[in-house]
Chains A and B, each alone.
Chain A
Amino acid sequence: MKPGFISFVLDTAFRVLVPFTLVYGVYVLIFGEYGPGGGFQAGTALSVGVILSKLIQGKEKAQFNIRGSMALILAGIGTFIYAAVGFTTMIFGGKFLEYEFLPIPVHELTELHVWGILGIEIGVTICVMTTFIAIFSALTGEEGPFKDA
């Protein structure tokens, strides 16, 4: 990957655009209960910021960076969060992903569904976002071959 363009136009556009993209991504994630959206879409929106940072500022100077290896680990964590919500309900006496058994104090049972859906959407968002970043950094050859553990 090249060290990045020294371009005030691109850098300024990046600084203006990315905060709005991130806020919109989080909005799509949280509001996915009530409107169009959800984890998959929010993940794509959130990954834009990191990919733009890698593209414009270069891999060394990127201020807003998640490395490819770290992104793969985070993708695993996202999938784990999803499964963890399912197993939590199993531990507390329900079936897999039966949100009404979540151990959260609420007034109505339907609120538990909202919390459960939010939990799994966060997992999906982390997984999709970091998978995009991992694929991008693998395509650009950012880190070279895997080292022996």
Chain B
Amino acid sequence: MKKYAALLTIALAFVFFYAAGDLPQIGDKDSPANVHVSPRYIEDAMEEIGSPNLVTGVLADYRGYDTLGETTVIFIAGIATAMILRGKKEGDDAE
């Protein structure tokens, strides 16, 4: 089983290295990440949101649903930490 896992890992690594050659250069203005929604955010954010801070505009307005998820994740992390650290141990019922 370990042999198969190692073989699979090597094969996947080869695929990834092969595919990495076709990735666009960092900062390439024609890469898909830079021609899809980014220009619209940069050009229209000031008119549509009225906030000069582009980061806040994207974070809280265009992608508000995403930020709601982030907040929920933080809330759940707090609950989980409290439950693990403040939970009762076994045989700790007598109080």
Contact = CB atoms under 8 A, between A and B. Distances in A.
Interface stretch (B14-22, B24-32, B34-42, B82-90): B82-90
Contacts of A124: 67, 71
A146 B89 CA distance: 11
Interface in B34-61: 47-53, 55-56, 59-61
Interface in B56-89: 56, 59-61, 64-65, 67-68, 71-72, 74-75, 77-79, 81-83, 85-89
Contact of B78 (A33, A75, A116): A75
A127 interface: yes
Interface stretch (A15-23, A53-61, A106-114): A106-114
B75 A131 contact: yes
Contact of A113 (B50, B55, B77, B89): B50
Chain B interface main SS type? helix
A113 B64 contact: no
A134 B78 contact: yes
Nearest to A114: B50
A111 B85 CA distance: 44
A121 B51 CA distance: 14
A145 B86 contact: yes
Contacts of A68: 82, 86
Q: What bracket does the count of chain A residues touching chain B fall in?
A: 35 or more
Contacts of B56: 32-33, 37-38, 117
Contacts of B68: 82-83, 86, 97, 120
B77 A34 contact: no
Interface string A89-119: 0000000110100000000101101101100
Interface of A: 32-38, 68, 71-72, 75-76, 78-79, 82-83, 86, 96-97, 99, 108, 110-111, 113-114, 116-117, 120-121, 123-124, 127-128, 130-131, 134-135, 138-139, 141, 143-147
Pairs of residues from A and B, 5 with the lowest C-beta to C-beta distance, nearest first: A110-B50, A131-B78, A97-B64, A138-B85, A117-B60
Interface of B: 47-53, 55-56, 59-61, 64-65, 67-68, 71-72, 74-75, 77-79, 81-83, 85-89, 92, 95
